[in-house]
A and B are shown apart, each in its own frame.
Chain A
Amino acid sequence: MSQLLLVTIFLPLAGALAMAGLAPLGREAVRWTALVIAIATLALAGTVVNSFPADGATAFASSELAWVGPGSGAGPASDWLPDVRFSVGLDGLGVWLFGLSALLLLTSVLVSWDAIQDRPALFYGMLLLLESGCLGVFAARDLLLFYIFFEFTLIPLFFLIGIWGSEERRYAAIKFFLFTLAGSVLTFLGLLAIVLWDARHTGGALRFSIEGLTQGLAAHPLPESWQTWIFLALFAGFAIKVPLFPLHTWLPLAHVQAPTAGSVFLAGVLLKIGTYGFLRFNIPWLPAATASFMPWMLLLSVIGIVYGALIALAQRDMKRLIAYSSVSHLGFVMLGLFAINRLGIQGGTLQMINHGLSTGGLFAIVGMLYERYHTREISQLGGLARRLPWLSLFMLIFTFSSIGLPGLNGFPGEFMILIGMFQRGFVETAGAWRFGLQVIAVVAVSGVVLGAWYMLWLVRSVFFGPIKEPHDDDHGAHAGPHGSDHDKHGHGGDHGGDHAGDHGHGHGEAPLGAGPPDLRWREFAALVPLVIFVVWIGLQPEYFLRRMQSTLNPVADAMVRPIEQRWGESAPAVAGSTADQLGSR
C-alpha cells in the first residue's frame, strides 16, 4: 500500500513530464493521455483511501526515503546535515483531502476538454504538476516536504491563471503568487524556529519529521512567548491561503481570472492547505498561543462568514459570487476548527471536503455555462432550466449542498460546526470572552441564512423565470459592464469548443430552437463523481467521520487544558503565572 501511495503521488508528475513529449502529437493525444492519467490517479488514490482502516490510523501507507542527511548518499560522516526525508503517509486528517484532490483532477481535466485550445500540452502538464503538489501536501509527513509541496503548487497555478485566464490574468496571477509567497516565507521562518527549538533540546541535527517534532514538542513545549511569535508567523501563510477575512482580496480576482480547471482546483483543494496547516501545526504544536488567539480567530472567521456572504449578495458575475461564497464557507471551516472541541474540529474538517465538492462543482458548472453563452453575467441569463435541464439539475444539487440542505453533504458539516461553536460559547468557556463568543456563535448562524439567500437568488435568476439568453456571442460579450472579460484567447477557444461540440459529439440537440446543447457525456462524467460524494456524505457522514476521529479527537482533547488555563474561571491567576514566566526569561 505504501508503494501505491508513492505511485499515486508521482504518477501525475510523470504524466506532466510525458506531456512535453506528447506536445507535437496534437491536442487529441494530449487530452486523452491526461484523462487516462487522471482516471488512473483517481483509481489509485481510491484504492489507497478505500483501504484506510475504518477506525482511523496515524501513519497509513507510510514510506520514507532519505533525501538530505543521514542515508542520503555515500561519503564520510556528516551527521550535521539537516535530516530531511521524503516521508509520506496518510492519517485521518489528510486521507479525505488526498482523495478529494484526486477526484477534482478528473473534473478539472474534463471541464477543460474543449475550453483549452491554446498549448494544451502545457496546460495539462501544469494541471498534473498541480495535482502532484496537492497530493503531496496532504500526504507529507516531513515538515520541509510539506512546505516544498505547499510552495510548489504556486508555480503550476501561476501558469494556469496567467496563460489561460481572462483579460486581467497577468495581474491576477502575479497578485495570487505574491500574496501567497509573502505569507508563506514567514510561515517558513516559523516552522524553522520550531525545528530549531526541537534540535536544541534533542541535541542532534535539525530533524523535520512531523511525528518526531510532535513528540519533541510534547517533551519540551515551546515557551509561551515563542508560541505567540510562531503562531503569528504560521498565521501569515495559512490565513492568506484560507483566506481569512482581511487577507482575502487576492481570491476573488484569482478565481474570476482563472480558467475553470484552475478555479476548481483553487477552491477545491488549494484553499484547504491553509485550514489543513492550522489544524496540523498551529493547534497541536502551539497550544498556549492557540488558546490565547482563539477568540480573535473566531472573530475573524465570523467576520469572514458575514462579510463574504454580504459581498456575494451584491455580485453580478456568477464566478465572483461563488468566489465570495468561498470566503464565507472557509470562514465556517475556520470557525469550526477554532471552536476547538471535538464537534467543531470534526465538522470543520468535514466541511473542508464538502466545500471542495460543492464549490468545485459550482465552478465547473459556471465554466460550462460560460462555454455555452460566453458570459457569466447573472443579469444576461434566465430560465435556463428549460433549455438545459440536466445542467440545471446538477446546479441545484450543488446549490443545496452548498447551503446545507439536510440529506446532502453541507448539512452535517455546518451543523457540527455550529453546534461546536455554541458549545464553545455557551458551555465550555467562562472567561472574559464568554459573551463575545456567544455573540459570534449567534451571528455565525446568520451566515447560513445569507448563504441560502445568495445561492437561491443566483439559481432563481439564472435557471428560472422567463428564458433570457444572449442572442449571439458578440452581443453577449459586449452587452454587459463586465463583458470585456471576454478575451481574445478565450474567444478563439470558445469557437473551437462549440465546433467540437457540434460535430464531435452530437449528443445534445437542443430541444428549443437553436440553443446550446445540454450536458455532454464528458460533462456528466465531470459532475457525477462529485454528486455521488455529495449524497454519500449527506446520507452517511458517519462513514467519513469515523475515519477522521482517531486523528482529530486527540487534537481537540489536548486543547481542553490549555483553554481551561487561559480562559477558565481562574484566568487571572494564570495570567499572573504567564507574567512570571515572561519575567523569568
Chain B
Amino acid sequence: MLPDLTTLTLLLPEIVLVLSATALYVGGAFRPGHSLWPLVANGAYLAALGLLLGFEWGRWESLVEQGATASGPLSLDYLGQLLRSITLVIGLLLSLLMSRTAPDELKTEHAGTLMLAIAGLMFVARANELVLLFVGLELISIPTYALLFMGRRDRATGEATAKYFFLSLLSSGLLLYGFSFLYGMGGTTTLIGNGAEPGIREAVAALRAASAASVASAESVAGPNLWLLAPLAVILVSAGLCFKLAAVPFHFYAPDVYQGATAGNAALLAVLPKAAGVLAFTRLIVAIFPAYATAWQMAVIVAILTMTLGNICALWQKHVRRLLGYSSIAHSGYLLIGLSVALVADNDALRAEGLAATLFYLAAYAFASIGGFAALTYIAETGKPVDHVEQLAGCGRSHPLAAGVLAVSMFSFAGIPVFAGFWGKFALFASTLEMATGANYGPLSAWFATLAIVGALNAAIGAAYYLRIVGAMFFQSAPASVGVTTGASATAVQASASEATGSATTLSAMVACGLLVIGMGVVPAIGFRGAGYAGRSVAATAPAATPAAEAASNSSMPVRPGETSGDTANASTRDVTHNAARVVADQVTSVGNE
C-alpha cells in the first residue's frame, strides 16, 4: 500500500528546509567554500516561503472562514500558517545576518544548523500533538547550543553556552513533567481533537465540568478526580515555557547569555525561543485551560514582575547586548499581558483580541530585535567594537544607516508612533483595558487595570534606556574625534569609516528589518488583520469556559446573571466550528489517521 502522502505535502516547507540543511551538512564537508552554499542557505527559505504561500494559497482563505480544523498531529489553522510564514521570513533575515560572522571553516554547518532551528519553530507552529510539539521545541534548542558555540570561541561564549545548555535541559525536563500530567489527564497526546476523537482539550474540559458538578452537588466524582492535577500541569508547563520566554523567575540566564553570544546569536535567542514559547503557551495553556483562575492569575503576576524587573535592571546596564537581554525580558512581560487577557477572557472575541495583540507585538518585537542586532553586527563588521553603549558614540555620523535602523528599532521597542511597536502596545493595552472596563468582571477589573497601568509606566521606564542608546549614537562624538570639530575632520571621520564597510548580507538584513518595522507601523491594517485571523482561529477552538463551575470552585470569578444563555450560545458556535472542522478534515483526507 502506498503511504499516505497528505501529511507530507502539508509539511513540504519544513521538509525543504530539513533536506537543504542535510545537503549543506554533507555537501559542505566535501566542497567547503563553494559559492553554491550561500545560495542554498538563503534560497531554501525563499523556496519554502514560496511553497507555503503558493502551494497552500487556497487554504488560507478557507482557514479564515472556517476557523481551526485541528485534527491529528497537525493543526491546520491560521495561527500555524501565519507563524510559519513569519518564521521563514525570520529565518531568511537571520541567515543573512549571520552568514558573515560565522567562522569560515564552519559556514555550511552554521547555515544548516540555523535552518534546522527554523524548521523546529515551524513544527511548533503547526503541532497539535504533545510529542511533535516537544520535538519541535528541542529542534530549536539543540541547534541553538551548537550555534552559540560556533559563533565565537572564547571563555565568555563557553560559559554562556554551558549556562544556556544546562538551564535549557532543566526547562525541558520541567516541560516534559508537565506534559506527563497533561497526558495523564487527557489519556491522549493529541491536543485538540474533535467530537469523534477527543483530544486533551476535550478531556480536560470534561474533567473540569465533572469536578465542578461534584463540588456543586457535594458528591465525589466517580473514580479519581483528575482535575486536581490541573494546577500541577499548568504550573510545570508554564515554568518550562517561561524559560523559553525568559520570563521571571526563569529569566536570569538571558543577560549573561546575550552578553556572551555574538550579536547574531543574540538575535536568534531573542526571537526563536520567544516565538516558540508564545506558540506553545497558546496551544497548551490558552486553548486547554481557558478562564482558569490559577493560570491567568499566575500569568498576570509573572507579566507584571517580568516587565518591571526587566526594565529596571536594564536601566543600569552598560553593555549593549546585556542591556538588550534585559530588554527582551521586559518584552516577554508584554507578551504575557496579551496571553493573560486571552486566558481570562470568557468570550471568543476578547480571547481572540488578546492573542492577536500578542502576535502583533511578537512580530513587531522580532523584526525590531533582528534589525537592532543586525545594526550592531554591521557596525562591528566595520572594525568598530560595540560592546558598551558608550562605544556607540559617534555612530550617527560614521554609520548613519546602521544608526538609523538601530534608532528605529529602539523607538519601536519604546512604543513610539509610527513604528510597529506602537501598534503592538496599542493592541495590548486596548485588550487589557477592555478586560478592565468590562461590564461584569468585578474584581477582575482591578487586576487588569493594574496590569494596564504597570504596562504603560513600564513603557516610559523602558524608553529611558532605549533613548540612552540613541543618545550615545547621535549626541556624542566618537572618542577619537573629541576636540576636533571642524568640518574637515568630520568628513575625515566619514572617509575613514567608509574604508571598512560591512557585508552586503548584513546590510540587507538590517535594512529589511528597518523597513518592516516602519512598514508595519505605517500600514498596520495588514498586520492587524493577519493577527486577528490567527487569534480568532485559536479562540474559536478553545472550548467555552464553564464560568458557572468556575464560580462555584473559585470565589474570584463572580457568578453573573444571564451567563447560561451565553454559555449555550458559545456551545452552539462550538458545534458549528466542529462541523466545519469535520468538513475540512474530509477534504484534507485523513490527516488525522495516526
Contacts and interface: CB of A to CB of B under 8 A. Distances in A.
Whether both chains belong to one complex is answered with yes
Interface of A: 66-69, 72-73, 75-76, 78, 80-82, 117-119, 144, 147-149, 151-152, 154-155, 158-159, 162-163, 169-170, 173-174, 177-178, 181-182, 185-186, 188-189, 192-193, 195-197, 200, 206, 488-489, 491-492
B171 to A, nearest CB: 33
A200 B435 CA distance: 12
Contact of B467 (A68, A163, A177, A193): A177
Given A81-B532, A193-B433, A492-B485, A163 B474 contact: yes
Contacts of B352: 80
Contacts of B525: 66-69, 72-73, 81
A192 B430 CA distance: 6
Given A68-B524, A163-B474, A117 B487 contact: yes
B529 A186 contact: no
Contact of A151 (B397, B416, B485): B416
Interface residues of B, number: 49
Contacts of B433: 189, 192-193, 196
B457 A68 contact: no
A73 B417 contact: no
B243 interface: no
Contact of B476 (A73, A159, A170, A193): A170
Q: Helix, strand, loop or mixed for chain A's interface?
A: helix
B468 interface: yes
Contact of B485 (A162, A188, A491): A491
B475 A162 contact: yes
6 contacts: A73-B529, A81-B528, A163-B474, A174-B464, A178-B460, A492-B486
Interface string B389-423: 00000001100000000000001001111100010
B99 to A, nearest CB: 28
Nearest to B65: A76
Contacts of B349: 80
A403 to B, nearest CB: 36
A182 B476 contact: no
Contact of B459 (A68, A80, A185, A195): A185
Contacts of B439: 200
Contacts of B490: 118
B55 to A, nearest CB: 21
Interface of B: 61, 64-65, 349, 352-353, 396-397, 411, 414-418, 422, 426, 429-430, 433-434, 437, 439, 452-453, 456-457, 459-460, 463-464, 467-468, 470-471, 474-476, 483, 485-487, 490, 524-526, 528-529, 532-533
Contacts of B529: 73, 75, 78, 81
B429 A189 contact: yes
Interface hub of B456, B457, B468, B528 (most chain A Cβ within 10 A): B456
B273 to A, nearest CB: 28
A188 B416 contact: no
A234 to B, nearest CB: 13
Contacts of A147: 417
B485 A181 contact: no
A337 to B, nearest CB: 26
Nearest to B349: A80
A76 B463 contact: no
A151 B422 contact: yes
Nearest to B404: A20
B531 to A, nearest CB: 10
Contact of B453 (A72, A117, A169, A189): A189
A185 B460 contact: yes
Contacts of A489: 485
Contacts of A144: 426
A188 B429 contact: yes
B413 to A, nearest CB: 13
A69 B532 CA distance: 11
B66 to A, nearest CB: 11
Contacts of A67: 524-525
Given A152-B418, A174-B464, A185-B456, A196 B430 contact: yes
A76 B459 contact: no
B437 A148 contact: no
A147 B425 CA distance: 13
Given A80-B349, A181-B460, A162 B474 contact: yes
B265 to A, nearest CB: 30
Contacts of A117: 487
A80 B483 CA distance: 58
Contacts of A159: 474
A382 to B, nearest CB: 31
B468 A174 contact: yes
B418 A76 contact: no
A163 B395 CA distance: 13
Contacts of A173: 467, 471, 475
Given A81-B528, A163-B474, A148 B397 contact: no
A163 B416 contact: no
A409 B341 CA distance: 53
Contacts of A192: 429-430, 433
Contacts of B457: 182, 185-186
A189 B456 contact: yes
A178 B464 contact: yes
Contacts of A491: 485
A554 B418 CA distance: 34
B566 to A, nearest CB: 15
Contact of B416 (A72, A155, A169, A195): A155
In the complex, the 8 A-B pairs of residues with the closest C-beta atoms, listed nearest first: A182-B460, A72-B525, A148-B417, A185-B456, A162-B475, A170-B475, A68-B525, A492-B485
A548 B108 CA distance: 70
Contact of B532 (A72, A78, A162, A163): A78
B471 A162 contact: yes
Contacts of A185: 415, 456-457, 459-460
B471 A170 contact: yes
A80 B524 contact: no
Nearest to B411: A155
B477 to A, nearest CB: 8
Contacts of B486: 492
A196 B434 contact: yes
A52 to B, nearest CB: 28
A173 B468 CA distance: 10
B459 A181 contact: yes
Nearest to B427: A82
A383 to B, nearest CB: 33
B437 A174 contact: no
Contact of A152 (B353, B417, B460, B475): B417
Given A148-B422, A162-B474, A76 B64 contact: yes
Given A73-B526, A488-B483, A491-B485, 12 more contacts: A68-B525, A68-B528, A76-B64, A80-B349, A82-B430, A82-B528, A147-B417, A152-B418, A158-B467, A186-B457, A196-B437, A488-B485
A159 B397 CA distance: 13
Nearest to A195: B430
Contacts of B426: 144, 188
Interface hub of A78, A170, A192 (most chain B Cβ within 10 A): A192
A492 B418 CA distance: 35
Interface hub of A196, A197, A488, A492 (most chain B Cβ within 10 A): A196
A82 to B, nearest CB: 7
A236 B415 CA distance: 18
A149 B483 CA distance: 38
B468 to A, nearest CB: 7
Nearest to B535: A80
A197 B436 CA distance: 11
A200 B430 contact: no
Nearest to A493: B485
A320 to B, nearest CB: 21
B260 to A, nearest CB: 29
Nearest to B527: A68
A200 B436 CA distance: 13
Interface hub of B396, B452, B485 (most chain A Cβ within 10 A): B485
Nearest to B486: A492
